[in-house]
Chain A
Protein backbone atom coordinates (compact mmCIF):
# COMPACT_ATOMS: atom_id res chain seq x y z
CA UNK A 1 0.00 0.00 0.00
CA UNK A 2 1.40 3.33 -1.00
CA UNK A 3 1.66 5.98 1.63
CA UNK A 4 -1.19 8.43 1.38
CA UNK A 5 0.82 11.29 2.77
CA UNK A 6 3.02 11.43 -0.35
CA UNK A 7 0.05 11.79 -2.68
CA UNK A 8 0.73 15.46 -3.15
CA UNK A 9 4.37 15.33 -4.16
CA UNK A 10 5.36 16.69 -7.56
CA UNK A 11 6.13 13.23 -8.92
CA UNK A 12 2.73 12.02 -7.81
CA UNK A 13 0.83 14.89 -9.33
CA UNK A 14 2.78 14.42 -12.56
CA UNK A 15 2.05 10.69 -12.59
CA UNK A 16 -1.63 11.30 -11.93
CA UNK A 17 -1.88 13.84 -14.72
CA UNK A 18 -0.17 11.40 -17.09
CA UNK A 19 -2.50 8.61 -16.06
CA UNK A 20 -5.59 10.76 -16.50
CA UNK A 21 -4.58 12.02 -19.94
CA UNK A 22 -3.11 8.88 -21.49
CA UNK A 23 -4.19 5.71 -19.74
CA UNK A 24 -7.70 6.40 -18.55
CA UNK A 25 -9.38 5.99 -21.95
CA UNK A 26 -8.29 2.82 -23.67
CA UNK A 27 -8.64 4.36 -27.11
CA UNK A 28 -6.22 7.13 -26.15
CA UNK A 29 -3.88 4.59 -24.55
CA UNK A 30 -3.76 2.39 -27.65
CA UNK A 31 -3.35 5.36 -29.98
CA UNK A 32 -0.47 6.61 -27.85
CA UNK A 33 1.15 3.17 -27.98
CA UNK A 34 0.98 2.96 -31.77
CA UNK A 35 2.06 6.55 -32.35
CA UNK A 36 4.98 6.16 -29.97
CA UNK A 37 5.93 2.92 -31.73
CA UNK A 38 6.35 4.84 -34.99
CA UNK A 39 8.18 7.64 -33.19
CA UNK A 40 10.47 5.07 -31.63
CA UNK A 41 11.15 3.53 -35.02
CA UNK A 42 12.04 6.88 -36.57
CA UNK A 43 14.29 7.78 -33.65
CA UNK A 44 16.01 4.40 -33.75
CA UNK A 45 16.55 4.56 -37.51
CA UNK A 46 17.93 8.08 -37.56
CA UNK A 47 20.23 7.50 -34.60
CA UNK A 48 21.60 4.24 -35.97
CA UNK A 49 22.10 5.85 -39.40
CA UNK A 50 24.02 8.68 -37.81
CA UNK A 51 26.22 6.24 -35.93
CA UNK A 52 26.86 4.26 -39.12
CA UNK A 53 27.73 7.38 -41.11
CA UNK A 54 30.04 8.51 -38.33
CA UNK A 55 31.90 5.19 -38.27
CA UNK A 56 32.23 5.11 -42.08
CA UNK A 57 32.99 8.77 -42.58
CA UNK A 58 34.85 9.41 -45.85
CA UNK A 59 34.23 5.92 -47.18
CA UNK A 60 30.73 6.24 -48.60
CA UNK A 61 29.68 7.40 -52.04
CA UNK A 62 27.93 10.46 -50.66
CA UNK A 63 31.20 11.58 -49.09
CA UNK A 64 33.23 11.35 -52.31
CA UNK A 65 30.55 11.99 -54.92
CA UNK A 66 31.49 15.67 -55.23
CA UNK A 67 34.85 14.64 -56.69
CA UNK A 68 33.23 12.87 -59.63
CA UNK A 69 30.12 14.85 -60.45
Chain B
Protein backbone atom coordinates (compact mmCIF):
# COMPACT_ATOMS: atom_id res chain seq x y z
CA UNK B 1 0.00 0.00 0.00
CA UNK B 2 3.01 2.26 -0.44
CA UNK B 3 1.52 3.60 -3.64
CA UNK B 4 -1.79 4.24 -1.99
CA UNK B 5 -0.33 6.25 0.85
CA UNK B 6 1.79 8.19 -1.63
CA UNK B 7 -1.27 9.07 -3.63
CA UNK B 8 -3.03 10.09 -0.48
CA UNK B 9 -0.11 12.25 0.53
CA UNK B 10 -0.11 13.90 -2.85
CA UNK B 11 -3.76 14.71 -2.68
CA UNK B 12 -3.42 16.06 0.83
CA UNK B 13 -0.70 18.41 -0.23
CA UNK B 14 -2.86 20.14 -2.77
CA UNK B 15 -3.65 23.73 -2.21
CA UNK B 16 -7.14 24.42 -1.04
CA UNK B 17 -7.61 27.14 -3.64
CA UNK B 18 -7.70 24.68 -6.50
CA UNK B 19 -11.45 24.41 -6.41
CA UNK B 20 -14.12 26.42 -4.78
CA UNK B 21 -16.50 24.41 -2.73
CA UNK B 22 -19.35 24.46 -5.13
CA UNK B 23 -22.51 22.62 -4.37
CA UNK B 24 -22.04 20.37 -7.39
CA UNK B 25 -18.59 19.35 -6.31
CA UNK B 26 -19.71 18.57 -2.82
CA UNK B 27 -22.61 16.57 -4.11
CA UNK B 28 -20.44 14.61 -6.50
CA UNK B 29 -17.98 13.93 -3.73
CA UNK B 30 -20.73 12.61 -1.54
CA UNK B 31 -22.11 10.62 -4.40
CA UNK B 32 -18.70 9.07 -5.03
CA UNK B 33 -18.06 8.34 -1.43
CA UNK B 34 -21.43 6.75 -0.98
CA UNK B 35 -20.78 4.74 -4.09
CA UNK B 36 -17.35 3.55 -2.98
CA UNK B 37 -18.45 2.56 0.46
CA UNK B 38 -21.39 0.60 -0.80
CA UNK B 39 -19.42 -1.28 -3.48
CA UNK B 40 -16.39 -2.85 -1.98
CA UNK B 41 -14.89 -4.25 -5.12
CA UNK B 42 -11.31 -4.79 -4.14
CA UNK B 43 -10.06 -1.29 -4.76
CA UNK B 44 -9.64 -1.08 -1.05
CA UNK B 45 -6.97 1.57 -0.92
CA UNK B 46 -9.56 4.22 -1.59
CA UNK B 47 -11.05 3.44 1.77
CA UNK B 48 -7.86 3.19 3.73
CA UNK B 49 -6.32 6.39 2.51
CA UNK B 50 -6.87 9.47 4.58
CA UNK B 51 -8.04 11.28 1.46
CA UNK B 52 -11.06 9.07 1.07
CA UNK B 53 -13.89 11.36 0.20
CA UNK B 54 -16.35 9.70 2.49
CA UNK B 55 -18.35 11.91 4.76
CA UNK B 56 -16.75 10.78 7.97
CA UNK B 57 -13.31 10.70 6.41
CA UNK B 58 -13.63 14.24 5.09
CA UNK B 59 -14.68 15.45 8.46
CA UNK B 60 -11.67 13.80 9.99
CA UNK B 61 -9.42 15.32 7.44
CA UNK B 62 -10.69 18.82 7.88
CA UNK B 63 -10.46 18.45 11.62
CA UNK B 64 -7.04 16.87 11.85
CA UNK B 65 -5.25 18.63 9.05
CA UNK B 66 -7.07 21.89 9.26
CA UNK B 67 -7.70 21.84 5.52
CA UNK B 68 -10.76 22.34 3.47
CA UNK B 69 -12.29 19.07 2.42
CA UNK B 70 -12.72 20.19 -1.15
CA UNK B 71 -9.03 20.01 -1.83
CA UNK B 72 -8.89 16.30 -1.73
CA UNK B 73 -11.65 15.47 -4.20
CA UNK B 74 -10.68 18.20 -6.66
CA UNK B 75 -9.68 15.68 -9.24
CA UNK B 76 -12.67 13.56 -8.60
CA UNK B 77 -15.05 16.37 -9.23
CA UNK B 78 -13.51 17.30 -12.55
CA UNK B 79 -12.73 13.94 -14.06
CA UNK B 80 -15.77 11.85 -14.54
CA UNK B 81 -14.62 8.36 -13.91
CA UNK B 82 -16.53 5.30 -14.82
CA UNK B 83 -16.14 2.41 -12.57
CA UNK B 84 -15.65 -0.28 -15.16
CA UNK B 85 -15.91 -3.08 -12.69
CA UNK B 86 -19.40 -2.17 -11.74
CA UNK B 87 -20.94 -2.19 -15.20
CA UNK B 88 -19.51 -5.60 -16.16
CA UNK B 89 -18.47 -8.47 -14.02
CA UNK B 90 -14.89 -9.19 -15.14
CA UNK B 91 -14.72 -12.49 -13.34
CA UNK B 92 -16.96 -14.08 -15.95
CA UNK B 93 -14.86 -15.49 -18.82
CA UNK B 94 -16.53 -15.01 -22.18
CA UNK B 95 -17.44 -18.02 -24.25
CA UNK B 96 -14.86 -18.57 -26.96
CA UNK B 97 -16.59 -21.68 -28.25
CA UNK B 98 -17.18 -20.07 -31.62
CA UNK B 99 -13.45 -19.64 -32.16
CA UNK B 100 -12.32 -22.94 -30.75
CA UNK B 101 -10.85 -25.57 -33.02
CA UNK B 102 -13.03 -28.61 -32.91
CA UNK B 103 -10.25 -30.89 -34.10
CA UNK B 104 -8.43 -32.87 -31.46
CA UNK B 105 -5.11 -32.25 -29.76
CA UNK B 106 -2.84 -33.51 -32.50
CA UNK B 107 -3.95 -32.08 -35.83
CA UNK B 108 -3.20 -28.44 -35.04
CA UNK B 109 0.18 -29.34 -33.60
CA UNK B 110 1.05 -31.51 -36.57
CA UNK B 111 -0.08 -28.80 -38.97
CA UNK B 112 2.01 -26.16 -37.20
CA UNK B 113 5.13 -28.31 -37.33
CA UNK B 114 4.39 -29.22 -40.93
CA UNK B 115 4.31 -25.53 -41.83
CA UNK B 116 7.53 -24.90 -39.88
CA UNK B 117 9.24 -27.79 -41.66
CA UNK B 118 8.00 -26.76 -45.09
CA UNK B 119 9.18 -23.21 -44.55
CA UNK B 120 12.57 -24.53 -43.50
CA UNK B 121 12.83 -26.79 -46.52
CA UNK B 122 11.88 -24.04 -48.98
CA UNK B 123 14.28 -21.58 -47.35
CA UNK B 124 17.08 -24.14 -47.50
CA UNK B 125 16.29 -24.78 -51.15
CA UNK B 126 16.43 -21.07 -51.91
CA UNK B 127 19.74 -20.64 -50.11
CA UNK B 128 21.21 -23.69 -51.80
CA UNK B 129 20.08 -22.53 -55.26
CA UNK B 130 21.55 -19.06 -54.66
CA UNK B 131 24.90 -20.50 -53.65
CA UNK B 132 24.87 -22.96 -56.56
CA UNK B 133 24.08 -20.17 -59.04
CA UNK B 134 26.94 -18.07 -57.75
CA UNK B 135 29.34 -21.01 -57.90
CA UNK B 136 28.26 -21.97 -61.41
CA UNK B 137 29.51 -18.54 -62.54
CA UNK B 138 33.02 -19.81 -61.92
CA UNK B 139 32.53 -23.03 -63.87
CA UNK B 140 33.54 -23.36 -67.49
CA UNK B 141 30.86 -22.31 -69.95
CA UNK B 142 29.23 -24.76 -72.34
CA UNK B 143 31.30 -23.72 -75.39
CA UNK B 144 34.52 -24.23 -73.48
CA UNK B 145 33.36 -27.62 -72.28
CA UNK B 146 32.39 -28.57 -75.85
CA UNK B 147 35.96 -27.82 -77.00
CA UNK B 148 37.37 -29.84 -74.14
CA UNK B 149 36.37 -33.13 -75.76
CA UNK B 150 37.66 -34.62 -78.98
CA UNK B 151 35.95 -37.43 -80.86
CA UNK B 152 38.10 -39.67 -83.03
CA UNK B 153 36.83 -42.14 -85.61
CA UNK B 154 38.85 -45.32 -85.04
CA UNK B 155 37.78 -47.05 -88.26
CA UNK B 156 40.14 -44.80 -90.23
CA UNK B 157 43.21 -46.00 -88.29
CA UNK B 158 44.64 -49.21 -89.75
CA UNK B 159 46.38 -51.76 -87.56
CA UNK B 160 49.95 -50.94 -86.74
CA UNK B 161 49.63 -47.22 -87.36
CA UNK B 162 49.94 -44.15 -85.19
CA UNK B 163 47.63 -41.14 -85.27
CA UNK B 164 48.38 -37.86 -83.54
CA UNK B 165 45.50 -35.55 -82.78
CA UNK B 166 45.31 -32.24 -80.96
CA UNK B 167 43.42 -32.17 -77.69
CA UNK B 168 43.36 -29.10 -75.43
CA UNK B 169 46.42 -27.76 -77.22
CA UNK B 170 48.43 -30.95 -76.64
CA UNK B 171 49.13 -33.88 -78.94
CA UNK B 172 47.46 -37.22 -78.21
CA UNK B 173 48.89 -40.43 -79.65
CA UNK B 174 46.49 -43.17 -80.67
CA UNK B 175 48.07 -46.41 -81.79
CA UNK B 176 46.21 -49.32 -83.27
CA UNK B 177 48.47 -52.07 -81.92
CA UNK B 178 48.96 -55.40 -83.54
CA UNK B 179 48.66 -58.69 -81.64
CA UNK B 180 52.45 -59.01 -81.63
CA UNK B 181 52.85 -55.61 -80.05
CA UNK B 182 50.29 -56.42 -77.36
CA UNK B 183 52.21 -59.60 -76.54
CA UNK B 184 55.44 -57.66 -76.46
CA UNK B 185 53.97 -55.09 -74.07
CA UNK B 186 52.72 -57.86 -71.76
CA UNK B 187 55.96 -59.85 -71.63
CA UNK B 188 57.98 -57.03 -70.11
CA UNK B 189 59.15 -57.70 -66.56
CA UNK B 190 57.70 -54.69 -64.78
CA UNK B 191 60.00 -55.12 -61.77
CA UNK B 192 62.87 -53.68 -63.79
CA UNK B 193 60.90 -50.66 -65.01
CA UNK B 194 61.54 -47.15 -63.73
CA UNK B 195 57.78 -46.47 -63.43
CA UNK B 196 56.33 -49.96 -62.96
CA UNK B 197 52.94 -50.29 -64.62
CA UNK B 198 51.21 -53.24 -66.24
CA UNK B 199 50.11 -52.80 -69.83
CA UNK B 200 46.56 -53.60 -68.69
CA UNK B 201 46.61 -50.56 -66.41
CA UNK B 202 47.43 -48.30 -69.35
CA UNK B 203 44.80 -49.39 -71.88
CA UNK B 204 41.06 -49.95 -71.86
CA UNK B 205 41.17 -52.13 -74.97
CA UNK B 206 44.57 -53.73 -75.66
CA UNK B 207 44.50 -52.91 -79.39
CA UNK B 208 44.01 -49.20 -78.75
CA UNK B 209 46.74 -47.31 -76.93
CA UNK B 210 45.68 -43.72 -76.17
CA UNK B 211 48.18 -41.47 -74.45
CA UNK B 212 49.34 -37.89 -74.12
CA UNK B 213 52.18 -37.10 -76.54
CA UNK B 214 54.20 -35.07 -74.10
CA UNK B 215 57.54 -36.36 -72.86
CA UNK B 216 57.50 -36.55 -69.08
CA UNK B 217 61.02 -35.16 -68.97
CA UNK B 218 60.72 -31.62 -70.28
CA UNK B 219 57.62 -31.66 -72.42
CA UNK B 220 58.88 -32.36 -75.94
CA UNK B 221 56.77 -34.36 -78.36
CA UNK B 222 58.26 -37.85 -78.85
CA UNK B 223 58.61 -39.40 -82.31
CA UNK B 224 56.56 -42.52 -83.03
CA UNK B 225 57.87 -45.91 -84.19
CA UNK B 226 61.37 -44.98 -83.12
CA UNK B 227 63.80 -45.69 -80.33
CA UNK B 228 65.41 -48.84 -78.95
CA UNK B 229 62.14 -50.38 -77.74
CA UNK B 230 59.95 -50.07 -80.82
CA UNK B 231 57.79 -47.39 -79.30
CA UNK B 232 58.47 -43.69 -79.02
CA UNK B 233 61.68 -41.72 -78.86
CA UNK B 234 62.08 -38.21 -77.58
CA UNK B 235 64.67 -36.35 -79.67
CA UNK B 236 65.29 -33.62 -77.12
CA UNK B 237 67.17 -35.62 -74.49
CA UNK B 238 66.91 -39.19 -75.73
CA UNK B 239 64.15 -40.82 -73.75
CA UNK B 240 63.02 -44.20 -75.09
CA UNK B 241 59.43 -45.40 -74.57
CA UNK B 242 58.21 -48.90 -75.33
CA UNK B 243 55.09 -50.00 -77.21
CA UNK B 244 52.99 -49.36 -74.11
CA UNK B 245 54.39 -45.82 -73.69
CA UNK B 246 56.46 -46.78 -70.62
CA UNK B 247 59.83 -45.11 -70.04
CA UNK B 248 62.67 -47.58 -70.63
CA UNK B 249 65.80 -45.50 -71.17
CA UNK B 250 66.80 -41.86 -70.89
CA UNK B 251 66.13 -39.02 -68.46
CA UNK B 252 62.30 -39.08 -68.34
CA UNK B 253 61.04 -40.14 -64.90
CA UNK B 254 57.54 -41.35 -65.72
CA UNK B 255 55.58 -43.24 -68.37
CA UNK B 256 53.66 -41.24 -70.97
CA UNK B 257 50.45 -39.94 -69.39
CA UNK B 258 47.08 -41.52 -70.16
CA UNK B 259 44.21 -39.04 -70.58
CA UNK B 260 40.62 -39.76 -69.61
CA UNK B 261 38.90 -41.32 -72.60
CA UNK B 262 35.92 -43.52 -73.40
CA UNK B 263 34.84 -45.67 -76.32
CA UNK B 264 31.35 -45.36 -77.67
CA UNK B 265 28.94 -48.26 -77.56
CA UNK B 266 29.78 -49.53 -81.03
CA UNK B 267 33.48 -49.30 -80.23
CA UNK B 268 34.28 -47.45 -83.44
CA UNK B 269 34.83 -44.05 -81.84
CA UNK B 270 36.80 -42.77 -78.89
CA UNK B 271 36.02 -39.58 -77.00
CA UNK B 272 39.02 -38.04 -75.28
CA UNK B 273 38.35 -35.74 -72.35
Contacts and interface: CB of A to CB of B under 8 A. Distances in A.
Interface of A: 1-9, 11-13, 15-16, 18-19, 22-23, 29, 32-34, 36-37, 40-41
30 contacts: A1-B100, A2-B101, A2-B107, A3-B100, A3-B102, A3-B103, A5-B104, A6-B102, A6-B103, A6-B104, A7-B106, A9-B103, A9-B104, A11-B103, A11-B104, A12-B103, A15-B107, A15-B109, A15-B111, A19-B106, A22-B113, A22-B117, A23-B110, A29-B113, A29-B117, A32-B117, A33-B124, A34-B121, A36-B117, A36-B121
Interface string B133-169: 0000000000000000000000000000000000000
B63 interface: no
Interface in B73-130: 100-111, 113-114, 117, 120-122, 124-125, 128-129
Given A12-B106, A37-B128, 4 more contacts: A2-B100, A4-B105, A7-B106, A23-B113
Interface of B: 100-111, 113-114, 117, 120-122, 124-125, 128-129
Nearest to B107: A15
Nearest to B127: A37
Contact of B106 (A1, A15, A36): A15
B106 A37 contact: no
B101 to A, nearest CB: 5
A22 B109 CA distance: 12
B117 A16 contact: no
B142 to A, nearest CB: 13
Contacts of A34: 121, 124
Contacts of B122: 37, 40
A18 B108 CA distance: 12
Given A1-B100, A19-B113, A37 B105 contact: no
A67 to B, nearest CB: 20
A69 B111 CA distance: 54
B117 to A, nearest CB: 5
Contact of A37 (B103, B107, B121): B121
Contacts of A32: 117
B110 A15 contact: yes
Contacts of A9: 103-104
A4 B104 CA distance: 6
A40 B125 contact: yes
Instruction: For the complex of A and B, list the 6 residue pairs with the smallest distance between their C-beta atoms, beginning with the closest.
Output: A15-B110, A7-B104, A12-B104, A16-B106, A6-B104, A15-B106
Most chain-B CB neighbours within 10 Å: which of A9, A19, A41? A19
Contacts of B125: 37, 40-41
B101 A3 contact: yes
Given A29-B117, A40-B125, A3 B104 contact: yes
Contact of B105 (A12, A33, A36, A40): A12
A28 B108 CA distance: 20
Contacts of B111: 15
Contact of B107 (A11, A22, A33): A11
